[in-house]
Every structure is written in C-alpha cells, then in structure tokens.
Chain A
Amino acid sequence: MSDYPEVYPPCLYDRSVTGRRASTIPALAPGLPAAEDVLPAGTLRSRPAHLPEVSELDLVRHFTNLSRKNWSIDVGAYPLGSCTMKYNPKIHEQAAAMPGFSRLHPWQPAEHAQGALRILWEMERALLEMTGMTRATFQPAAGAAGELTGLLIMRAYHQAQGNDKKVVLIPDSAHGTNPATVTLAGYKAKQIPSDSRGLVDLEAVRKSLDGSVAGLMLTNPNTLGFFESEIKEIAAALHSEGAVLYYDGANLNAILGQVRPGDMGFDIVHINLHKTFTTPHGGGGPGSGPVAVNERLEPFLPAPLPGYDPTTGKYFWDDNRPQSIGRVHGFYGNFAMVVRAYTYVVSLGAQGLHNLSERAVLNANYLRKRIQDEYPTAYPGLCMHEFVVTAKKFKTEHGIRAMDIAKRLIDLNFHPPTVYFPLVVPEAMMVEPTETESKQTLDDLADAFLQIAEEAVANPQLLHEAPVTTPVRRLDEARAVRKLKTRWTPPS
C-alpha cells in the first residue's frame, strides 16, 4: 500500500486563497496606540502567521461537510461497550449555554457565582446520595484525571498514616487508564487475574496482600459486564491490610439507585459525567470526572471545595484545607459539563435514575440473548448494562476477525461495539446498548449481527471488504505511523 501516491484529504488550508477572509474585527479607534509604538521591535513577528484565508461560507461548508462524515448518537445507535453512549438531551445544551453560566468568569468572586456554586453543591449532594460517599470534587476534567486524583488522595492518606506502600492492584480486565494512572501516581501496578466466572479472583487478591499494597482499583460491574458478587469479601481483605478500595465509575450506569459503591465498601469513587450523566462526548471530550470519598479521606480532597453557610444561605469557596493534595485543574473543572449533568438529575429525579439502570440492564440482556447462539459471551450468566462476546469461532472456522464483523456492522448502518477489549477475551466484542435505545433498534441491531453470522459462512468476502458505504474504507494505520503526517504542508 505504500506505493500509493502522496495525496492527502482536503483540509482548510487547501481552500485558502490569498486575500480572502471571514473575520471582522472592530477597528481601533483613532489616536489609540499602535503595536509598533508600545512593543519592542525585536518581539514583533517578522512575517504574518500562516493561517488559512477563507470566506465565511468556505469555512461553514468545510466544517459542515466534515461533520457529515461523522457518526454520532443523533445519527444512529452507538453500542460501544464501557462508553455509555446514551442520548444527550437537547435541554442540557440550552441550560449550559445560558449566559449566567457560559459567560461567568472563573476569577469572579464567590458572591458573583452563587448560582454556579449552588449547582456544584447540589450536584455534589446528589452524587454523594447515589454513591454513598461523604464529599466530592469536580476538578478532574475526565475519568483518567479522576483516577489520578483518587490515587493521589490514596497516597496522601497513606503518607499521613506513615505507610510506605508501593503497589496498586488492578484486575486483568481493567481499562488502560488504570495502570497508566498507577504509574503517574508513583505506584507500581500489579495485575490480578479473572477467575472462571469472569470475576476478580478473590484468592489471588488475598495472596497479593503482603503489606506493600496501597489499594485496589475496581469497576463494578466489571468490564466483562458482571457484578463482582464477592465485593464485600474483597473489601474486607483490603481493609484488613490498611489498603484502600478504589471504584472506577465507568460502569456506574448499571447500578444507579440499585446498589452504592459506599455500601459495597469502596473508599474512593470517580464518576464519569460524560457516561452515566450523559454529557455529550464531543468526539473525544470534554468529559468530567468528579471524585467522591468517604469520611476518612475527605481531608485530602483537592482544594478549593465549595462550601455552604446555612445561616446566611450563601455559598463560598473553602480554601482552608491544610491536608489537601492541592489543585488538579486550572480552575474548578469542566463546570459546563456539571451544569448538563445537574440538568439531567433534576429532569430524571429519583424515579428516573432508578428506571435508567433497570432499562440499561434490560436492554443489554435482551440483546445478549437475541444474538447468543452465534455470539456467545465469554463467560455465562446474566449481564448488567453490557456484555462481552467472543467471535473466536468465526476466526477459527472462517478466518473472520472481530474487526471484520465490526466493519460489516458499519455497512448495515450501526456503529460497531468496542472490539478487542477487554484484553482477557479473545476476539472480544463489548456491547453496551444503553437504556435510551428502543426494542425496535435492538431488534434491528440483533438482526444485523445474525445476518453477518450467516454472511461469514456464505460470503466472507463481504466482511473482509467492509466497510464499502463510508466516505473512506479501511485505512492503513501502519502507513500513518511510517509516513507520519499530522499537519498540512504546502504541496511540493
């Protein structure tokens, strides 16, 4: 494939014509200082920055046409396992765009920001009720930032106890951010195997507890979609060692209003507002990864924390937290995402939050059951909000990989599930339909899966060649690395 000519997809620079422009900037009033008069000559640019020169219509067409080449929840189903791609309600956007929120400057004194602090305070109370924790911070900008914040809290707690612990345990089915975060927090990651049920091997956990373990990071339900039913025993084992139990909230959608991490024995919880509380994922971000802790870890939370004085009815920023790990964001976190999540919580209320986990689990089990004859799960049993099938038999019998099935689903007008994760399942396909998809959509998706199973036998070429309906077909990732090109350059 390296023989193909060096052609590149059109980008905005390719539409550029010298002298064209879209912007209008207020004219500088007569008599005001010119840049040359107040800035030293040596600091000024020798040539203008080479940005594209396009009209407003060129610009709008370029980005509109790009957007049309993108799948999105508003276009169709998006059953990506562990990503919780549920509907992002439009009222959330309207709420976050209200000038009282969107035009609030982060350095404004707390007296100016009483509404914003109320959102943070009440959303914190709601998350504490849902997780069984006692305080939370909204500073972490995404799940992985929440993980790092949580582990730094864990580390500060151990240091305050005089403990010198070096190891954090993670299951072999864990998301990659877990081990990456462990390293950043100055710990060593140690992997715990899954047992024959797809659950964390309790005996392996117990054997690992040699005095060096600072904590265990766990998702529950786990990335295989199973509830860790021995969680109490795991928590007891950890706590008897003085270790801390960390809850990765990637899969919180499954259990909202059913069971709480705090009641399971977790000490630290991060929540992905962009998953469970449906703030839009933006093609990769922004997210928001608040971290909640129980009472003994509260002193170590990042500062400042919102405060509320019931006698005056005023909110304030509490910066007087001497044991705090410090700041983990330039300001207060992705505040506008918290506004969206808050809007979701007040829309759904207690009943709606309870319903959503029931419907998420119902949808996942229904879809699992509909396709199980062709796509068996890696481990037996009821799943929670997602399930992992193995496409191993298609590989051994027909030379069809999970990726081929995924690409054929694209031609049948579905976004594929997550593939090749978790790593412990061969030819893994991780499916999370979410609660906002209808039975009709799930039936269509199941039919597509089953049609592909037939095609794998009757017409495997269809799968190898898929997708054929997309703006581009399978792309050469190796070439992208070998002939690295990550910016526009003038045609040679």
Chain B
Amino acid sequence: MDYTPHTEADVAQMLEVIGVDRVEDLFEPIPEDLRLNRKLELPEPLSESEVHGLLSSVAADNLAADSLVCFAGGGAYDHYIPACVRACAGRSEFMTSYTPYQPELSQGVLGALFDYQSMICELTGMEMAVSGLYDGAAALNEALRLAASVTKRGKVVVSEAINPNYRHLLDTLGASLDFEFVTAPATDGVTTFGDAAGAACVVVSQTNFFGCLEDVEAAAEVAHAAGALLVVQFDPLAMGLLESPGTLGADVVVGEGQCLGNDLNYGGPYLGIFATHLKHQRRIPGRISGATADVDGKPGFVLTLQTREQHIRRERATSNVCTDQTLMAVTAAVYMGWLGPQGLEELGRSCVGMTHYTADVLSQLPGCRVRFDKPFFREFVLELPAAAAGVVGHLAEEGFLVGPSLEAFEAMDNCALVAVTERRTVDEIDRLAQALRTVLA
C-alpha cells in the first residue's frame, strides 16, 4: 500500500495532458548515468494487518514502563496523561496541519499556542513565551545564544548539576560560536557560584539534576552583579509549590515540557519551553502567536515578530529553527488547562510527599542513604552499597525501573536517581524497598 489513488486510466489521461508517453519520461532531466536503475534493496510491501503485527512484536521487545514500575527520572517523568488531553491534542485538525503561515486557516493552532504561551508565562513568571522548541536541551542552548547576543559576551557559567546530556549538547553547539564554558561546582548537591565576571549568563537548574532545590536568588545576585543574565532551567510541575524563576530574578526561563502531558517516547518528541522578558523580544528564537484584528476588526491570531525568523532574516536570523514542537505545546496547553491551579498544587504536594516517603523507606536499607542533605522535590540521589548500574539492572529483573545511574559524575558510581510521580502508590514504594533489599542481599 503506497496510499496513491491513481487508476491506470488516471495515469493514461494525465500523461496525455502532459504530453509524454510514459511516466519514466518525466524523469528525463535526470542524467541517465546517475539513475539507480534497480529496485531499492528493501523488503516487499506489507498489508496493514501484517504491519500491525510486525510493529506489535517489535514493541514487545522493549521492556517499557507498562511492564516495570517506573521510578526513573533525570529529565523524563512518568506522570499520568489524562484521556481528555490525548483526545483534544490528538485531533487530526491539529496533528495533520502545517505551520500556521496562512492565519485565516490556522486559528486553531494559533489559538492553542496563545493559550500555551499565556500559561507558560504564568508558570515561569516571565512576560513572553515562544511556541515549543525541540526539547529542554535545545531551549537551554537558545537561551545561551540570547544571552550572548544581549551582552556581547561569549563566556557562560554553567552549574555542574544540570542534566549531563544538556551539557554535552551545549558543548557541541557552543563550539562553533566560540563559547567559553566555566563549570560552577555542585559538590554537596547544590551549586556554588563564585563570580560571573565577564559572563554572558549564569545557568542554574531548578530543581537540579540531583533533584535538589538551588538558591536561585543567590545565583541571580551573582549573575546580575557581573552584568550577566540569569538563565533558569525550571521544572514546570514544581510551580504549584515553588516560587517562579521570574520572581526570583531569572532573565530567561527554559525547561523540558515532557512532563506536561507528553509521552516518555524514549526521549522524543519532547517540548522545549522558552520564556523571557519583553525587552528581549527581538532576540528570541522560534515562533510566537500574537493577537490582532482582521479587516473587519474581528479579533484573531497571527504568527508575530516574524522578522526575527530564518524565512525572512536568513543569515541574520536569531535562530535557524523552523519546524519545532508545536503539537507538544498544544498538548501542554490542554494539560495545564486540565490541571488548573489546584491540580498543579496537589500534584506538587503528591510528588513531594511520595518522594520523601520513598527516600525515608529506601534509606533504611543497609548501606543505602540519601546522598545529599538538601531539600528535594520529585527525585533524589540514592547512594547504594554497590555499583549503581548493576543494581539498576537487577531491579529491572524484579520489575522496577530506577535511574539513571550516575557514573557519569565524579565519585558517584554507587549513586542512582529515584523519581516518584503522583502515579506511584505507597504499596509500589514498599515493594520497591523489598526488591532493593533482595537485590542488595
């Protein structure tokens, strides 16, 4: 099945109108000696039922969060996704539409993005937000470029306690722009910022990769004293409890929006949240939905501030982003609307309570302790009496997923992250403790 509707009669009539004898004649502009002139070495077509069977069997080769009880974190979390979120964001009018360059035909996506931007401003404490960037890592990278553009500086002070994958991405994408990275150490689970002299920005994660709460206000003071911007990588679901980064002095707030109603999906598609102050509007990356009026004065939405973007500004654009993660932003809008202020707060309370209960129970096991004596929100570092990677593997055999293990960090071979969402139950936590006791025995 190739989904083409052409009958033989259609093809014959179309060729006659075009004025060629055979379909192959249409490829005449391709030099003969370049042509493949053979069939691709790929399997033969399958019927839809065979395709379904094949994909089902491949999917069954994964040991996913449905067959394990998920206590894994590190930037992706197993929160419940309400049925109405899937129903609304999954509508094919959203899913099978293109970028809203023709606004008269795109009021749906533009309206949903306006809702998204409004709610993200509220969670971040910022004045404007953009449609979804690729993921949390990409959003952070864009924040660095904005800071460099504002300050005309190329040095970046980055907390050691950000997601290590994000740091790898910053190193990759910063190299061609000659960024100089200075790592602020996080020896006891939270970051110590020295001074930020000459820096474009200071980057801190709230909560950080170890699950701990950072002193964002102190980071803001260090950054602003040096004329640098404060970039906060935030956790949107902590915002029912924690003060927003904007209130604490952030200049740019970025984050991973997977937890806002998007599936785990083995790492993507996720959602890069990006929000900042209005004064940076000419330097921000990506698409923005804005309100306006039509020729009759009727209110509507358009993509606005487009002169920053690559299709207009070309080599002087603020970013090269074109296709982004709009559908994930629409999903997040529905999810945030579902939560409401009470749901957001209750969810935060559930995460905090369950995570601390888990920490209490697990730290009573022989040789186990919570590594950092700092406040945490939805995950914490568990120190084990053995190499964490092995323990994570054995726990999976017992039906529990924890992690990631933290051998990537210095002297943390015996450590793993444990994350607890509102989906987990006291019974599951108690069973995790039993399983860990068995594994460590």
Contacts and interface: CB of A to CB of B under 8 A. Distances in A.
B184 interface: no
Given A7-B299, A334-B269, A486-B114, A435 B93 contact: no
B290 A328 contact: no
A183 interface: yes
B264 A105 contact: yes
Interface string B10-53: 11011101111001101111110011100111111110100110
A176 interface: yes
A447 B93 CA distance: 26
Contacts of A43: 213, 242-243, 375
Given A72-B97, A330-B136, A362 B23 contact: yes
B417 to A, nearest CB: 8
Contact of A25 (B98, B106, B401, B422): B422
A485 interface: yes
Interface in A55-114: 56, 59-60, 62-64, 66-75, 78, 80, 83, 85-89, 91, 93-95, 98-109, 111-114
B105 A48 contact: no
B172 A95 contact: no
Given A109-B393, A330-B135, A8 B52 contact: no
A487 B66 CA distance: 37
B9 to A, nearest CB: 9
A280 B96 contact: yes
B364 interface: no
Given A32-B353, A51-B339, A369-B18, A351 B39 contact: yes
A88 B96 CA distance: 7
A20 B301 CA distance: 27
Interface in A465-491: 467, 470-477, 479-481, 483-488
B66 A99 contact: yes
B317 interface: yes
A71 B97 CA distance: 6
A251 interface: no
Counting chain A CB atoms within 10 Å of each CB, the highest count among B105, B333, B343 belongs to B105
B93 A75 contact: yes
Nearest to A7: B299
Contacts of A410: 102, 104-105
Interface in B325-353: 325-328, 330, 333-334, 336-350, 352-353
Interface in B84-109: 84, 87-100, 102-109
A282 B327 contact: yes
Contacts of B336: 51
A135 interface: no
Contacts of A34: 349, 353
B441 interface: no
Contact of A439 (B13, B19, B65): B13
B425 to A, nearest CB: 8
Contacts of B35: 258-259
Contacts of B98: 78, 80, 83, 85, 281, 283-284, 415
Interface size class of A (residues with CB under 8 A): 35 or more
A290 interface: no
A29 B426 contact: yes
Interface stretch (A184-192, A201-209, A291-299, A390-398): A184-192
Given A180-B317, A329-B268, A362 B27 contact: no
Given A63-B112, A94-B52, A476-B292, A226 B29 contact: yes
B396 interface: yes
Contacts of B305: 481, 484
B195 interface: no
Contacts, number: 715
Interface string B189-200: 000000000000
Contacts of A322: none
Given A105-B264, A335-B267, A474-B294, A282 B177 contact: no
Counting chain A CB atoms within 10 Å of each CB, the highest count among B40, B87, B169 belongs to B40
Given A13-B118, A179-B315, A227-B29, A475 B36 contact: no
A479 B292 contact: yes
B228 interface: no
A486 B120 CA distance: 11
B61 interface: yes
Interface in A316-367: 325-337, 339, 343, 345-356, 358-359, 361-363, 365-366
A94 B59 CA distance: 12
B242 A44 contact: yes
Contact of B292 (A50, A259, A475): A475
Given A143-B323, A283-B100, A330-B135, A472 B300 contact: yes
B321 interface: yes
Contacts of A249: none
Contacts of B299: 7-9, 472
A331 B310 CA distance: 26
Contacts of B40: 129-130, 257, 350, 353-354
A405 B240 CA distance: 49
Contacts of A59: 84, 88, 334, 337-338
A458 interface: no
A49 B320 contact: no
Interface in B192-225: 213
17 contacts: A25-B346, A38-B375, A40-B213, A74-B93, A99-B66, A101-B64, A142-B321, A259-B36, A264-B34, A283-B327, A346-B46, A350-B39, A359-B4, A362-B6, A362-B23, A439-B13, A483-B292
Given A51-B336, A66-B108, 11 more contacts: A22-B343, A52-B337, A99-B66, A179-B317, A181-B320, A182-B315, A231-B34, A232-B34, A359-B6, A406-B102, A474-B294
